[in-house]
Amino acid sequence: MKRILSILLIAIMGMANAAFAQNGVRASYKTDINIVSVNDVHASIENMPKMAAIVDSLRAIDKALMVISAGDNRTGNPVNDMYSDPSYPMIALMNQIGFTCSTFGNHEFDSGQEGLARNINESNFPYLCANIFPDQELGIQCEPYKFFYVKGVKICILGVVEAEFGGIPSTHPNNAKGMKFSQAEEAIRKYLWLRNECDVFILLSHIGYDEDVEVAKKFPEFDLIIGGHSHTQIDGGEVHNGVLITQNENKLKKLTHTVLVVENGKVTGKSATNIDVKNYPKTNVAAKCLVDFFSDNPEFKRVLAKAETPFSSYEELGIMMCDALKDFSGADIAYCNAGGVRFEDHPAGDFTVNDVLRLDPFGNTAVVVNVTGAQLHDMLIACKSVDDHGFPFTSGMSCEVTYTDKNRSGIKDLKLFGPDGKPLDLKKKYKVIANSYAIITSDIPGDDQGEDLNIGTANVLMKYLEKKKTVNYQGRKCLKENF
């Protein structure tokens, strides 16, 4: 009888604790809150089955394990990003693992407003972000914060994303149309009252390590900041002003397992350890099956355009890549380093997604810069000087280059011509676009070093081919070489 009474008493106390916690009254017993957190996974779906196995192991110890992402779940793997429903593979895997929540990273916006709204609807977990204000008609469902009731503890998670790219997250500006953003700190101040409504207060941040440290210094109200964006590997977590900060390098090489000890409604202990995901010896079979399914993707065979004639040189393919960049950006001139064109012939007929990914496999982004004709002249020479493959290809202009020798090892003279065939005005300013590698190797003179448009050059080419439907570059030239 005594034993039955004891069991009943324990059960009643447990229920009462849970009920109190739900009503904003602090939990009055000691428990551990286990959290697995990731950030900047960037669609490394190949590591997700190992992460799933780690989560399985931890759930075997604590069924109430929380699994949290600090954003940038997508962008970085064509298998995910070029899927017919972009980013669905990552979301399917996150659903399968059973994520508790995610915040937005700047790359969550990369599929535009419709893509983001669709991705949110496909997710079995909420997105938390307090400094985004989307127009209602976009259908972007997110909450600034959410309460989670875990083992009788009331946990509040507040989400924020960086908005440092001219007041929006670092994505192509078109992707953020119809959405307003405030600075993360402003949003944090607005929601500090949440501290008094919960036992555990967590900031889920995609603003970067330095900013997380600043937040911790200014707002010791947080128990934990789960960070992302700067790809900073914080081994074991760091405590700043009493706030534990965690983050990992990108691509899911590691994850963080955080344990918060909660006693009488307060966090009395906190620790974080990193688990090596990449080298974890176990794999979750169901997640692996999903990855295999998504990797065998018919999307890569999708025809983007028909080539009316065969391509028979790097130059023809390079001009097409430059035309795509110029068309996308409305720039006057586009150029591409010769080594950025990865094959030199292609038969007439179908030009597929896979062809584009083979032609431009480096994950470069499109960068725009405003320079004079004279500056462009020097940039093209600098770009060639570090590229054994040859002189850059162009659109919106052509070049006549005279080399010092037959090996093209040095340039004696370079003349630039406009689309009308007349010499390019060297004093005039031009809007120029190129891939990020070409821009960096071009040693741009002057203060304007350009700005990333936050879109992959392969993606730009795919859009161009889909728009054109048919292409014909046979015999196209942009370069005259003299030896």
Partner 1 sequence: MIVKVNKEEVRIFKGATAKHAILRYILKKKMEISALDQIKVFDSQGHKIGDDAPLKEGQSITFKI
Give contact residues for partner 1 (rule: CB under 8 A): 40, 164-165, 170, 208-210, 229-234, 249-251, 365, 367, 369, 386, 436-437, 439-441, 443-444, 447, 449-452, 454
Is the CB of 388 or the CB of 481 nearer to partner 1?
Answer: 388
| Minimal distance, residue 231 CB to partner 1, in Å | 3
Q: Tell me the CA end-to-end span of the chain in Å, nearest whole number.
A: 103
> Cβ closer to partner 1: 319 or 444?
444
Q: How far is the CB of 37 from partner 1 (least distance, A)?
A: 16
Name which of 318 and 450 has its Cβ closer to partner 1. Answer: 450
Question: How near is the Cβ of 367 to partner 1 at its closest, in Å?
Answer: 5
Residue of 432, 473, 180, 457 lying closest to 340 (CA atoms): 457
| Amino acid at residue number 281 | P
Please answer whether residues 34 and 62 qualify as being in contact, where contact means their C-beta atoms are separated by less than 8 angstroms.
yes
Q: How far is the CB of 9 from partner 1 (least distance, A)?
A: 49
Task: Name which of 153, 142, 129 is nearest 228 in CA terms.
Answer: 129
Beta bridge mates, 48: none
Helix (H) or strand (E) holding 276: strand 266-276
Q: Please report how close the Cβ of residue 332 comes to partner 1 at its closest, in angstroms.
A: 18
Both tokens of residue 189? 């101040």
Neighbours of 13 (CB within 10 A): 13
Q: For the CB of residue 207, give the shortest distance to partner 1 in the complex, in Å.
A: 11
Task: List the one residue out of 110, 146, 140 whose CA is nearest residue 123.
Answer: 140
Q: Which is nearer to partner 1, 155 or 455 (CB)?
A: 455
Query: What is the four-CA torsion angle of 37, 41, 44, 49, rounded to 10 degrees?
Result: 10
CA separation for the pair 431, 428 (Å, rounded): 10
DSSP 385-434: HT-TT-SPEEESSEEEEEESSTT--SEEEEEEE-TTSSBP-SSSEEEEEE
| Long-range pairs, 135-139, Cβ under 8 A, ≥24 | 135/178, 135/179, 137/178, 138/113, 138/178, 138/179
- Burial level of 475, CB count in 10 A (0-12/13-18/19+)? exposed
Q: Please identify, using beta-carbon distances, which residue of 231 and 429 lies nearer to partner 1.
A: 231
CB 405 within 8 A of CB 421: no
List all residues 6 or more positions away from 267 whose beta carbon is below 8 Å from its beta carbon.
Answer: 199, 200, 223, 260, 261
Nearer to partner 1, 131 or 247 (CB): 247
Q: Are 55 and 65 in contact (CB under 8 A)?
A: yes
CB closer to partner 1 out of 85 and 249? 249
* Minimum gap (Å) between residue 46 Cβ and partner 1: 16
CA distance 449 to 401: 25
Taking the least distance from each CB to partner 1, the nearer of 26 and 389 is 389
Q: Whole-number minimum distance, CB 451 to partner 1, in Å?
A: 4
CA atoms within 13 A on the CB side of 72: 29
User: Rounded to the nearest whole angstrom, what is the least distance from the CB of residue 315 to partner 1 in the complex?
Assistant: 23
Tell me the two tokens of residue 411.
């340039």
Q: C-beta of 227: minimal distance to partner 1 in Å?
A: 11
Closer residue to partner 1 in complex, CB, 229/326: 229
Provide, rounded to whole angstroms, the least separation between the CB of residue 235 and partner 1: 8
* Residue found under tokens 């916690």: 21
Residue nearer to partner 1 on the CB measure, 106 or 258: 106
The smaller minimum CB distance to partner 1, of residues 409 and 449, is found at 449
Q: Which is nearer to partner 1, 164 or 299 (CB)?
A: 164
Residue 165 CB, shortest distance to partner 1, in Å, is: 7
CB 149 within 8 A of CB 155: yes
